[in-house]
Amino acid sequence: MSHNESLVLAMVENAKSSSLRENLENAAIAQKNFMLIPFDKSVADDKEDQIFLHKIEKRGEEIRSKNKTE
């Protein structure tokens, strides 16, 4: 599984447990920091962006690790 695939899976998981408003905010963050430019947590504009991106990156790593052991 690629890095980007695991990030997308992490975002889907996050979306399933978020409210509509949170999903809209997260979609905007993801588009700005993941879809338009290569994934880079250091370019996040504010603390909220950084927290979301860190959460997605961490979950993506967990997904990749789990996928390697299966």
pTM reported for the whole predicted model: 0.73
Question: What's the pLDDT score for residue 43?
Answer: 57
Work out the average pLDDT over 14-42: 79
Q: How does residue 62 score in pLDDT terms, banded at 50, 70 and 90?
A: very high
Look at residue 41 and tell me whether its pLDDT is greater than 70. Answer: no
Look at residue 38 and tell me whether its pLDDT is greater than 80. Answer: no
> How is the chain split into domains, by residue range?
3-69
Tokens of 31: 């588009």
Work out the average pLDDT over 2-29: 91
SS3 assignment for 13-67: HHHHCCCHHHHHHHHHHHHHHHHCCCCCHHHCCCHHHHHHHHHHHHHHHHHHHHH
